[in-house]
Every structure is written in structure tokens, then in C-alpha cells.
Amino acid sequence: MKFRSPVPIAVLVLGIGFTAGCGTAAEPEPVAAPAVTSAATSAEATTEAATPPPDPCAAFVGSLTERQRLAQLLTVGVTGTDDAVNIVATEQVGGIFIGSWTDSQTLANREVPRIAAAAAVPPMVTIDEEGGRVSRVEDLLGSDPSARETARTMSVDETYGMAHERGRGLKDLGVTVDYAPVVDVSSQPDDSVIGDRSYSSDPNEVIAYAGAYSQGLRDAGIMPVLKHFPGHGSGSGDSHTGEVTTPPLDQLRQSDLVPYTALSQTGVGIMVGHLDVPGLTDPGVPASISPAAMALLRDGVGYGASPFTGPIFTDDLSGMAAITDRLGIVAAVEAALVAGADVALWLTTDDVPQVLDNLENAVATGRLPAPQVDASAATVARFKGAC
């Protein structure tokens, strides 16, 4: 199957015209009598045209309790099937995260249906599966090359085929969402934090390969999540170990943000990194909890993109020093959702009840607007096919 590029191709059509109403002078065409339309009929037609069809996802969200709506905005790492079943049954979280620490039997023994059966709303089953050194299913599905090696040795069509095959394997294991591909634009050494996880230092090459990889996953039934907005490729360090500062926003617009302009409308989620961005984020407020960064992504205006209507995920809020040196998990989740994220991601189930208690208080006191919660819950439900 030949991969179709997600980037629009302009087509110039010249010299095309048409002629209408070709009557002759000898035999003039009859003139139709004007239609008689009552004012009431016109008003009814206008009302029908102006009334949008009901949103099934909004109706779905309306069937949930407030705590369940808030829980749909949480995706948490699990240690294994029992841990996942418990947190889904007790708190109805919107997603679980299969990490390197998760018991491999959850996927190997095809135990995800047990987890889904415990939920009123089946959760997203999410994973980091990029290929190369970031792989959670290598023992089950074999190894894939890193992004950089892929771009060096494979065609775009071959990349689509590889992603489609990996996506089918993930789907068979019960996974529904992959935090891939990386669309960071980088020339840093292979073993740096992004390094060989980046396809290229050329944003157009990143678009071609990441677009193919995303489409391969989608066509296999796996939802891709691009990362790390607004661009980690030239960051000052590793957000796992400390603060990371990117080049200024004006510079990101020329390179790092270009893949998002091209790919944000291709049925993807987008993950926001813990990145300090001069000219965008306030001091001490990384992009993952920054209203300005979330607005940039959602509106698209600040970097020439269309508005983004898919779900915005945070990077891990509990295991990366760029955020944990500043906030505990309860405050970090609130800050991320208030800023405009749709999904707060972290690594354990331990704090879910406390996080939800705090979010209920945040809604009750107006710190987190209820309509915003409803809109995010609908976005998440739409992404995972619940409505």
C-alpha cells in the first residue's frame, strides 16, 4: 500500500470555464415564475440551518458524574493487570499507561479485556513504542529501528508499512494509543535525550517520516500521539533530570513547530513537554502547565497552524524532574488541566483518589471551570471512540 502524504499538494488549474443558459434569440428560454415562500417557512429553514446537530460526545459526557468526568482526564501508569482493574473499577480513570515497570503478562497474556470489563467507559491503553531504544514490546513483537535509523535506511513507504505492522501487533495485544512518533527536529548526538529518537534535523523530512508512521498506526487501529510540543530537539538538557530551556519561540517557529503545522490535522493527539520556552512560557512554568503554550497549540494562530481539536496530553508529571522539582503530583495535575491540557499523565495509581478529590474542589471553587472539564472529557471520549 502506497503511503499518501499528509501534507497538502497544491494543484493549479488553468483555462477552465463553463456557459449556462444557452437560449437563442428566436426561441427565448421560458422564465420560471418566482417561488412563493411564506415568512414562516423561511424562518423554519433558517432555524434548521443554524441549529447544529447534537454532539453525541457531549451527550455521553452528560451521562457521567462530575468525578467520572474528571477521571476521564487522567491516564496513569499501572504495575500490572490487578492494579489496572482496581483503579479502573474504583475511579474510572480515562486511561492506563503500560510502562517498562508494568508486568509483561498484562500484554503477553492478552489481559486487557479484563481491565476493560471493569470500566463503565473502557480506558485508553497507552504505551511508549517508538522503536529503537524506546520500546516496551520488543520481547513480544521484535525490534524496530530508531527514528533516525529509519530515515537513514528506509523509504517513506517502507516506514508506513513498518508502522502499520507494529500497530497491528499493538492492537492484538490490547493497546489503543501509542505515544509516538517523535516529531522533534534534532541534530543532537544519537545518545542524547532526543538524539536518534528524531527522524532528522530537517523539518520537512520529519514531516514525511512522522506522517507516514502516524498514518500506519492509525490504519492499524492505533491512535498516535505526536511529541514533544513545542519542540525538544534543541533543548538544553533532559527533562527527566532537570529544567530544559528551548530556543526562543521565534526560532521554534522556523523549525521545531513546522511538523505540528503540517501534522496536527491528521487525527492525532499531541503531547506537551516540560519545556521552558523564552518568549512563550513564564519563568518557572514549563509548557506542560503553561496556559500560553496550551493556547498556542489549541489556537494554532501563533505558528501558522489550524486550530487543534484533538486531545492534548502532558508528558509524565510524576517522574521527570523538570516538573517534580517544582510541583507535587496533586498540584501538577491541577495546573496542567487548568492550563488547557485534556489528559494528565503520570506513573502510578497511588495518588488518583487524592488528585480527584482536589480536582472536585477545583471545580467547586471555580479554579477549574466545569465547562472546560466537559469539553476535555468529550475530546478524550471522541479520541478513544467512546461516542
The catalytic site residues sit at 240, 315
Task: Encode burial over 170-182: b for 16+ CB neighbours within 10 A, e otherwise.
Answer: beebbbbbbbbbb
* Identity at 87, one-letter amino acid code: I
Angle of helix 352-364 versus helix 329-339 axis, rounded to 10:
50
| Contact present, 87 and 96 (Cβ < 8 Å) | yes
What stretches of the chain adopt beta strand conformation (E)?
Answer: 74-78, 95-98, 124-127, 177-178, 223-229, 269-272, 312-314, 344-346
Nearest to 167 by CA among 208, 218, 212: 218
Q: What angle do CA 7, 12, 14 make, to 5 degrees?
A: 165
The CA distance from 184 to 307, in Å, is: 20
Q: Are 269 and 177 in contact (CB under 8 A)?
A: yes
Cα angle value 158/161/163 (rounded, 5°): 110
Question: Could you tell me the CA-to-CA distances from 337 to 257, 289, 329, 344 in Å, in that order?
Answer: 22, 8, 12, 7
Contact (Cβ atoms closer than 8 angstroms) between residue 220 and residue 170: yes
3-state secondary structure of 74: strand
Beta strands of 303-365 (E only): which ranges?
Answer: 312-314, 344-346
